[in-house]
Structure 1
Amino acid sequence: MRICVILEGCYPYVTGGVSTWVHQYMKAMPQHEFVVWAVGADSKDQGKFKYELPDNVVEIREIFLNDALTMPFVKEKYKFKEEELEALREFVNCREPDWETLFRMYHDNKVSPVAFLMSEDFLEILMKICHEEYPYTSFSDLFHTVRSMLLPVLYILQSDVPKADIYHAIATGYSGVLARLGSYVNGVPYEITEHGIYTREREEEIIRAKWVIPAFKRFWVRFFYMLSGAAYGKASMITSLFDKARETQIEMGCVPELCRYITNGIHYERFSSMRPKKDNGYVDIGAVLRISPIKDVKTLLYAFADLRSRISNVRLYIAGPEDDEEYAKECYDLKEQLGLADAYFLGTVNILEYMEKFDFTVLSSISEGQPLAVLESFAAGRPCVVTDVGCCKQLINGMEGDDLGVAGYCVPPMYREALCDALEMMCTHTEERYQMGQIGRKRVEKYFRHEDMIRNYQEAYDEVFRRWQESVSA
């Protein structure tokens, strides 16, 4: 089988998290050929891969959203049909456009995206939006905001689509739209896998974003919901990592019968033989994460500063790459401002080597799915302090039917006092910490093994083809 895996903003340019997951995922299925269709933000990253691609990756396609800005201006006018205009009105309004009509226009007929965005039809649609929704907002600001939203989408619709037997988008958003486009072009099924709920994550980012004009934050959120709606709309299967994420997808309009959750899995044996850290007079805390706003490293630093005022023999090691250079610099500066000589930024490291140096780990994220970092920590017998996002509380306490016990502490996100209290409890209760680590290890051994995850996805592919064949023959 030839599987096109579509990724956005991660593999093969960024390490950790979803990137690690998909790399191991493809390596675990040598019987299949994979095409990697990677969506990036900036073409300066072209070819700068952080991974050596597995042997069964037979092709890689790169597409960069900023290349939309290089499209030439087209002078000739295109006469839009009424059904095309209706699809474009819905598209500009970020509602529910007829995506097949957009595919025919921009992929099959190669209508210029620039031609529409410079047309009187576009201005007319935009003026109506401005009159009805933004009567006291600059029309110029609205024009440039909406144009910056729509241009990259129309640009990617003109992409050459790689051949595949199935398209598998590891998110909704732009990658989900491409999965639906691939299905449309080649007449094969596609499925969606979400590690976190894409629209909710983008919504959180937009709310905090300084670059978005406040009046248009709601419009930007609507835009990302529209992209997810496109991805969900014709998918043969929609998977998530845990039951609450599945429920959220259904609340967002997904057909319940098409939704299922498949838990993450790790290579348990790589970590399971790890012994407790040797006593060196310190309690060493590990934070395995990308340095980005969504991981909320700043709250972790503040909480660690509070912890240092209570406990002297404690150290913090933050292991992971810079996902956001500006935010990373702010974190480094904050460490200096707080005088945290015992907090260390390690960069990208071999986590197997460093996990041996940790007594326990911490994850301070404001958004997560089912973090591999927690599963790896558990497998190594290291309990965790986590924030109550995504599946983290279930990992600590156990899912339905899991009576193994508690494997750490879970606190509200962005709550430094509670995070500090949990860190103190973990530091000062040595025996309880050890028991929690053993519970975490048993939990991964029983429920989160990599081979079980791969088998479940193999079965999902078989079911996707069956559903597709049934829909085609109906």
Structure 2
Amino acid sequence: MRIGLIAEGGYPYVSGDARLWCDRLVRGLGQHEFDLYALSRSERQEDEGWVPLPPQVSRVRTAPLWTAEDDGVVYGRRARRRFAESYGELVGALCAGGAVDGPGAAADAFGAAQHASATEADRFGNALYGLAELARDEGGLVGALRSEVAVRALERACRARGALRTAREARVPDLLTVAAHLERALRPLSLDWYEDDGLGSVDLCHATSGGAAALPGLLAHHFSGVPLLLTEYGVRLRTHYLAAPEASPAVRSLLAALHGRLAAETYARAALITPGNGHARRWQERCGADRAKLRTVYPGMDAARFAEVGEAPECAEPDSLVWVGRIEPAKDIVSLLHAFAEVRKEEPKTRLRIVGSPSGAEGAAYLGHCRALAAQLFPDEAEGPHTVGDNPVSFEEIGGPEIPTLADAYASGAVAVLSSVVEGFPIGLVEAMFSGRATVSTDVGAVVEVIGGTGLVVPPRNPRALAEACVALLRDPERRERLGAAARARALELFTVEQNVAAFHGIYLEIVSRTPVRRLVLDEAGDPLPFAVPAEAHVPGRWTERTARLVARGGPARPPGAPVRATALPATEGAR
């Protein structure tokens, strides 16, 4: 079958989210044909280029989310009226519900879309598709979304009777901020990806995240009836509440409404939804997802590179703790350092290896703070540079002389520690499990689901509990070995690339088997040809040559495996 894989800020770019699992999925499903539709997040990401693509990728079409030039489209009177009506309805639906008053009510926020009336949900969906149809008819929405008409429509919706209190309190800067965010979020509506030579021709759209990546899939479903599969390893509404805490209550409330409404619409239209873990699944259910559509599919990770460490779990430093990850405030290394100070009181020979690099400017500042704290907590031992052997705490990066590879990082510690206060799916924890390491983790995100009783779990922001768990494992080598072996067995059963690929292969077949035939194939006499597009229609082989010669509605059939070079404006496109 032919899959339209849609990604935002990830595959096929060298850097970005979901790059690895998408690449492994495509490579693992060589019997299918993939068209990639990629939304980039920055100019730097585009400049870094793409990863090498396997032969089953026939086409790549890209478009930037980080910028959008004015499309130069000038609306006539009727088009301006259509825009004002649809945009007014969309922002009216946002102001009428789907958000909460302030970040403290986040626990109720992600259920707002579920509890909102069906009328408001239909209002948002109808307005969204109305804008998409306008963009298709007129050639774009960029200028209209940036116009004063859009800002005034948003202001009227905020001031309307029955609007949320936080929306009514929005000031001019808030309105401009929300309008700019809406313009960016709705940029995919202006793409030319939805015709018969684009997403309209695929058998299935697979959106690799919610939000902007789901919009093209929604439009392909709306315009051409293409079934949509949505995979979410992190729910966008949850991400919204974890980001931009400095924004005003009005901005946060309105943007929460946008993410909640869009999530509810995507869940309603998707044929199936595949959360990456039970934590994401619970968010999806609170946002209105139908349980019957949910299939939990854990992300597939490469276990081979941890095989040597996992099969020989002896540690060169049995009195060492290791933390591996991206250095940023959410990882709460500060609590880890305080916990380690308590560990040293009980086990003076213990060392802590912190392996990772900072994430952006905020991460670099946080790393500096952690280094200073380590020097303060261990003043008699922190005179020299932070290197292994000189101090009980070392800050290292993968690729150095002591830690040449990621597997070596986990091999360097007897116990792997996760100290986060916020996590989605804890990739580092799974890597430690592949490495056969006993683990101590904080109870956040999907940690308990992933660990499944093969490690110790403590409350977040509790250094004393973290220290007690670490000491318990440091003093009991046999228990460490048992837990490490059990963790590795669990990871190999649930979190490998093979199980991920097998799950999606079955899901693809399930969705396509339930989807009515959308393209009518005619024979030489012009009569309908039943069963003319079998499941093997996109697999190279002699059995498909006759199908390839037949004329399908909307243009001739393309020989299986033949690359396509399409023109996409304002998007850019490349081919193998």
Q: TM-score scaled to structure 1, two decimals?
A: 0.84
Instruction: Give 1:296 deviation, angstroms.
Output: 4.2
Letter in 2 for 1:29: L
SS at match of 1:370: coil
| 2:327 paired with 1:291 | yes
Alignment match, 2:365: 330
Match of 1:183 among 172, 197, 221: 221
Alignment match, 1:236: 271
CA distance in 2, matches of 1:79, 1:383: 66
Call closer, same or farther: CA 1:466–1:368 in 2, change over 3 Å.
farther
CA distance in 2, matches of 1:11, 1:305: 42
Match of 1:430 among 444, 463, 477: 477
SS at match of 2:478: helix
SS at match of 1:260: coil
Indicate conservation of the 8 Å contact 1:281/1:313, yes or no.
no
CA distance in 1, matches of 2:169, 2:297: 45
CA distance in 2, matches of 1:260, 1:391: 16
CA distance in 2, matches of 1:362, 1:16: 25
Indicate conservation of the 8 Å contact 2:15/2:45, yes or no.
no
Call closer, same or farther: CA 1:273–1:331 in 2, change over 3 Å.
same
Alignment match, 2:91: 92
User: CA deviation digits over 1:112-165, x for unaligned, max 9?
Assistant: 332244244641442340465458846321221121211112322112324433
Alignment match, 2:190: 158
Alignment match, 1:402: none
Indicate conservation of the 8 Å contact 2:278/2:449, yes or no.
no
CA distance in 2, matches of 1:331, 1:311: 27
Please, which runs of 5 or more residues in structure 1 have no aligned partner? 399-405
Alignment match, 1:403: none
User: CA deviation digits over 1:14-56, x for unaligned, max 9?
Assistant: 7697332222222212222333333333223214147444443
CA distance in 1, matches of 2:87, 2:143: 13
Instruction: Give 1:292 deviation, angstroms.
Output: 4.2
SS at match of 2:516: helix
Alignment match, 1:219: 254
Alignment match, 1:352: 407
CA distance in 1, matches of 2:443, 2:81: 49
Alignment match, 1:401: none
Call closer, same or farther: CA 1:26–1:72 in 2, change over 3 Å.
closer
| 2:130 paired with 1:101 | yes
User: CA deviation digits over 1:288-307, x for unaligned, max 9?
Assistant: x3334544445445544554
CA distance in 2, matches of 1:168, 1:73: 32
| 2:180 paired with 1:172 | no
Instruction: Give 1:330 deviation, angstroms.
Output: 1.7
Alignment match, 2:314: 277
Call closer, same or farther: CA 1:470–1:134 in 2, change over 3 Å.
same
CA distance in 1, matches of 2:183, 2:476: 55
| 2:490 paired with 1:439 | no
Indicate conservation of the 8 Å contact 2:86/2:130, yes or no.
yes
How much identity, in percent, do the aligned residues show?
Answer: 25
SS at match of 2:31: coil
SS at match of 1:31: coil
1:68-83, aligned counterparts within 5 Å?
68=68, 70-71=69-70, 78-80=77-79
Match of 2:434 among 363, 376, 379: 379
Call closer, same or farther: CA 1:137–1:20 in 2, change over 3 Å.
same
Letter in 1 for 2:397: L
SS at match of 2:3: strand
Letter in 2 for 1:338: L
Match of 2:419 among 364, 367, 371: 364
Call closer, same or farther: CA 1:327–1:449 in 2, change over 3 Å.
same
CA distance in 2, matches of 1:472, 1:61: 23
Indicate conservation of the 8 Å contact 1:284/1:360, yes or no.
yes
Indicate conservation of the 8 Å contact 2:73/2:140, yes or no.
no
- Equivalenced residues, count: 459
SS at match of 1:389: coil
User: CA deviation digits over 1:296-342, x for unaligned, max 9?
Assistant: 445445544554565444444444554x4122212221122113532
SS at match of 1:181: helix
Alignment match, 1:197: 235
Call closer, same or farther: CA 1:45–1:194 in 2, change over 3 Å.
same
Match of 2:147 among 118, 121, 124: 118
User: CA deviation digits over 1:331-355, x for unaligned, max 9?
Assistant: 2211221135323241576323433
CA distance in 1, matches of 2:185, 2:67: 11
Alignment match, 1:408: 455
Instruction: Give 1:471 deviation, angstroms.
Output: 10
Instruction: Give 1:66 deviation, angstroms.
Output: 2.3
CA distance in 1, matches of 2:32, 2:285: 30
1:4-23, aligned counterparts within 5 Å?
4-13=4-13, 18-23=18-23
Call closer, same or farther: CA 1:449–1:13 in 2, change over 3 Å.
closer
CA distance in 2, matches of 1:371, 1:435: 21
Call closer, same or farther: CA 1:386–1:280 in 2, change over 3 Å.
closer
Please, which runs of 5 or more residues in structure 2 have no aligned partner? 99-120, 376-385, 387-392, 521-576
Alignment match, 1:60: 60
Match of 1:393 among 444, 448, 452: 448
CA distance in 1, matches of 2:15, 2:419: 19
| 2:466 paired with 1:419 | yes
Call closer, same or farther: CA 1:112–1:50 in 2, change over 3 Å.
closer
SS at match of 1:71: coil
CA distance in 2, matches of 1:181, 1:9: 19
| 2:185 paired with 1:142 | no
SS at match of 1:278: coil
SS at match of 1:171: coil
Match of 1:466 among 496, 506, 513: 513
CA distance in 1, matches of 2:276, 2:515: 23
Call closer, same or farther: CA 1:373–1:23 in 2, change over 3 Å.
farther
RMSD over aligned Cα atoms = 3.3
SS at match of 2:289: coil
Call closer, same or farther: CA 1:444–1:425 in 2, change over 3 Å.
same
Indicate conservation of the 8 Å contact 2:91/2:153, yes or no.
no
CA distance in 2, matches of 1:135, 1:444: 46
CA distance in 2, matches of 1:339, 1:361: 19
CA distance in 2, matches of 1:395, 1:34: 30
SS at match of 1:182: helix
Instruction: Give 1:199 deviation, angstroms.
Output: 1.7
Task: Tell which has more relative contact order, 1 or 2 (C-alpha 8 A, sep 6+).
Answer: 2
| Segment drifting more, 49-58 vs 214-223 | 49-58
SS at match of 1:418: helix
